[in-house]
Structure 1
Amino acid sequence: MALNLFTRKQAAPPPAIEAATLRSDRFRLERQTDWQRLDAIVTALEKNRLRRIADDDLLDLPVLYRKAASSLAVARETSLDAATLAYLEALVRRAWFQVYGPRTGFLRWLRGFFGGGWSAAVRDLWLDICIALAVMVAGTLVGWLLVAGDSEWYYRLVPDGMAGGRHPGASPEMLAQSLEGTKGAEGLAIFAASLFSNNSGVCILAFALGFAFGIPTLLLLVHNMAMLGAMLWLFHQGGLSFGFAAWLSVHGTTELFAILLSGAAGLHIGRSMAFPGKLSILSAASASGRRAAVVMAGCVLMLVVAGLLEGYARQLVETSEARLTIGIGMLALWLAYFLLMPRRPANAGEHAA
């Protein structure tokens, strides 16, 4: 009889152990949704599947990590079950590496960027690129029509420093002389540097103004393209349309492409703020800003190339045919890269930034 009583008492768990088990189960049930979400995000990042992660999940990654770390601290203090403790320790360790761990090396980042990250980011902005392109074409037409209706508009649209003696009333000979190249490259490095500074200023401004719902970006694109439209009209009047187009194409296909992408990047941020969807305006701007920043990083490279082409190739190459060949070749090169390069994240570690 005594043995039976002893056995019966041993089969029933002590009240302290039963309470601890219930406490552990309650603790896990209250927090396991966040743990599972963090686990899914970290697993996707470890498998380099960044584009499969929703923007709001990436934004919440640091918060989920801190919650898991706090849960781990509580689990250690209250001596929760070993399985929960081991799971949390592994999850927090993996999440820490993704949030605060070593960043991708520069060479690896560079390979990822040129190996598909930049082109993928550009393709993600296709709608904004279409809008910016339409606005740029409209701005060019506006400049042409304004100057065609009243030549005084030329002086309002084209600054004196940019006109360089090319103005309404100038003879075709004078206009043709302004398109001629140089025999040497002396001083062209300084010229290229100044052109890069000017063009980069336009691109950065077009991108930065996107925060105001993209409206200033669109106005800036219209204004800059109206200057081009005015100059197109001027050379058309002098019978030099082909020569001017060839002269411009050497650097223009790269430079205008960079301005187009910069405007689209700024517009992308503005459009996401105006139509944030289910996200808050701040979260939408943050998510779109990361994509636009990748595009802008590439635009800087394009402006460097445009500055070199404008400062050297355009000045040293004298025939219109050769200039046009260079311009079309550069345009084909950029289009081939953006359209044909396989999609890959620009930076496998950018989520940790």
Structure 2
Amino acid sequence: MATIVSAPDAQQALETAALKSDRFRLEREADWVRLEDIVTKMEKGKTRQLSDDDVLALPTLYRTLLSSLSIARESSLDAGLIDYLEGLALRSYFMVYGTQTSFGRWLKGFFSGGWSQAVREIKFDIWIAFIVMIAGTLIGYALVAGNSDWFYALVPANMADVRVPGATEQALRGTLFGAENQDGLGVFAAYLFSNNAQVAILAFALGFAFGIPSILLLIHNMALLGAMLWVFAQRGLSVEFIGWLSIHGTTELFAILLAGAAGIHVGRSIGFPGAQSHLTAASNAGKRAALVMVGVIIMLICAGLLEGFARQLINDTGMRYLVGGAMLLFWLVYFFVFGRRKAELPS
């Protein structure tokens, strides 16, 4: 049988609850106000205005707030008070457990070991991407060697110009050593950077589908290179073509290799999370791969400059190999030797 509560009793219960809530607030409000003031200053980047006592008190005030929030929920206190405490708890969490660092400090950590560490952590995926890229080059070369019509299916018309099956040695040599319009090199570099960045970003972004689209994109992109290599090889210009490509290619292809590996890493983590949950594995892989991709963009900028300027200005094959080899050596040393003993980049 339902219990009927009289109006006076209900009014008394409400007054008691209000009194209890007010007493609860008065006993702890000073700590909440102090914590909110500290958090607000930190959010506004005014950490230097905090005293040593405030910094040391932050963890204690945060734990006290969580205790107050727990009591407020269990006692069914004022809903507005609970909302306030929950909001303050969320803001405080990021200040207590989040890494507070300036952009300059982050950038220093990125270049002094964070980027290279992230690359080393996806080393297995780099090997997969490397094998796939080699296979793609061989596939493109073999297809065009078997039937030259494949060249037109693999290579866009705007990239081929005179570099097509049946071109004469003189015409092909002219594309490798011919004089270029120096005034247009800056625009050319910007165009090439944009094109290469799209390939790299796609190779990374498509990785979520278990890495399969990333692998297919790498194969297609390298098949194009294999097709072009066959055209020059037929006229005995393989060495010259590879030298022409090496100035920017050792950096550009390395960047695409890392982007593809980052995409494969994400896809592999989703498909085979191991002891972790799928969500946790994907999150960790995504953070690692995103860090690699920041570096990939930097590499593509370098490749764009090399392709738009150095490749056009250096017409000696030996010097081209020297520049390309030096860039390759630099990246290998940076990624796999440098920064091994450095602290990991703060997240």
Band of TM-score, shorter chain:
0.7 to 0.9
Counterpart of 2:34 in structure 1 is: none
Name the structure 2 match of 1:142. Answer: 139
2:266–2:282: 8 Å Cα contact kept in structure 1?
A: yes
Match of 1:29 in 2: none
Q: After superposition, give the CA deviation of every residue in 1:260-299 in whole Å (9 maximum; x if it has no partner).
A: 0000000000000000123222221111000001100000
> Amino acid of the residue matched to residue 258 of structure 1?
A
Selected match of 1:197 from 186, 194, 219: 194
> Which residue matches 1:338?
335
Q: Which residue pairs with 2:326 in the alignment?
A: 329
Match of residue 292, structure 1, among 289, 293, 296: 289
Question: SS of the counterpart of 2:193?
Answer: helix
Q: Which whole-Å deviations, capped at 9, do the CAs of 1:35-63 have from their partners, x for residues lacking one?
A: xxxxxxxxxxxxxxxxxxxxxxxxxxxxx
Residue number among 107, 111, 115 corresponding to 1:114 in the alignment: 111
- Determine the structure 2 residue equivalent to 1:158: 155
Aligned to 1:281: 278
Is this contact kept in 2: 1:181–1:317, CA < 8 A?
A: no
Deviates more, 1:244-253 or 1:281-290: 281-290
> Aligned pairs, how many?
272
Cα separation, 2, equivalents of 1:345 and 1:111: 11
Does structure 2 retain, via aligned residues, the 8 Å contact 1:118–1:294? yes
Residue 19 of structure 1 is matched in structure 2 by: none
Listed as ranges, the gaps of 5+ residues in structure 1 are 1-65, 79-90
CA contact (8 A) 1:269 1:292 kept: yes
- 1:121 Cα deviation after fit: 0.3
CA offsets, 1:177-227, max 9 Å, x none?
011253663110000000000000000000000000000000000000000
Residue identity in the other structure for 2:127? C
- Select which of 92, 101, 108 maps to 1:104: 101
Q: Distance in 1 between matches of 2:337 and 2:70?
A: 51
Report what 2:166 is aligned to.
169
> Which residue does the alignment assign to 2:175?
178
TM-score by length of 2: 0.74
Please say if 1:74 is aligned against 2:38: no
In 2, distance between residues paired with 1:68 and 1:286? Answer: 31
Secondary structure at 2:199's aligned position in 1?
helix
The partner residue of 1:308 within 305, 308, 319 is: 305
Give the aligned CA root-mean-square deviation in angstroms: 2.4
Shift of 1:104: 1.3
Say if 1:76 and 1:200 are closer, same or farther in 2 by CA, change over 3 A. same
- Output aligned runs, 1:221-232, within 5 Å: 221-232=218-229
Query: How far off its partner does 1:341 sit?
Result: 1.2
- Matched position secondary structure for 2:323: helix
Residue type at the aligned position of 2:203 = A
Partner of 2:44: none
In the alignment, residue 253 of structure 2 is paired with which amino acid?
A: L
**1:55-100 deviation per Cα after TM superposition (whole angstroms, max 9, x unaligned):** xxxxxxxxxxx9995445336899xxxxxxxxxxxx9999542445
In the alignment, structure 2 segments of 5+ residues that lack a partner are 1-61, 75-88
Specify the code of the residue in structure 2 equivalent to 1:317. Answer: I
Does the CA contact (< 8 Å) of 1:113 and 1:345 recur in 2? no
Determine the C-alpha separation between the residues in 1 that align with 2:68 and 2:292: 39
Q: Which residue identity lines up with residue 345 of structure 2 in the other structure?
A: N
Query: Which 4+ runs in 1 deviate beyond 6 A?
Result: 91-94
Residues of 1 paired with 2:180 and 2:160: CA distance? 22
TM-aligned CA deviation for residue 327 of structure 1: 0.3
The corresponding residue for 2:212 is 215
Q: For each residue in 1:283-323, what CA deviation from the matched residue of structure 2 results, as whole angstroms up to 9, or x when unmatched?
A: 21111000001100000000000000000000011111111
Give, in whole Å, the separation in 2 of the partners of 1:163 and 1:210.
Answer: 29
Q: 1:134 to 1:72 in 2, by over 3 A?
A: farther
Any conservation in 2 of the 1:172–1:238 contact (CA below 8 Å)? yes
Preserved CA contact (<8 Å) 1:114 1:346: no
Residue pair 1:118, 1:298 contacting (<8 A) in 2 also: yes
Find the partner of 1:243 among 240, 245, 252.
Answer: 240
Q: Secondary structure at the match of 1:285?
A: helix
Counterparts of 1:164 and 1:67, CA distance in 2: 69
Name the structure, 1 or 2, with higher relative contact order (CA <8 Å, separation 6+).
Answer: 1
Instruction: Report the CA distance between 1:339 and its aligned residue.
Output: 1.3
Residues 109 and 346 in structure 1, CA contact (< 8 A), matched pair in contact too: no
- 8 Å Cα contact 1:254/1:305 also seen in 2: yes
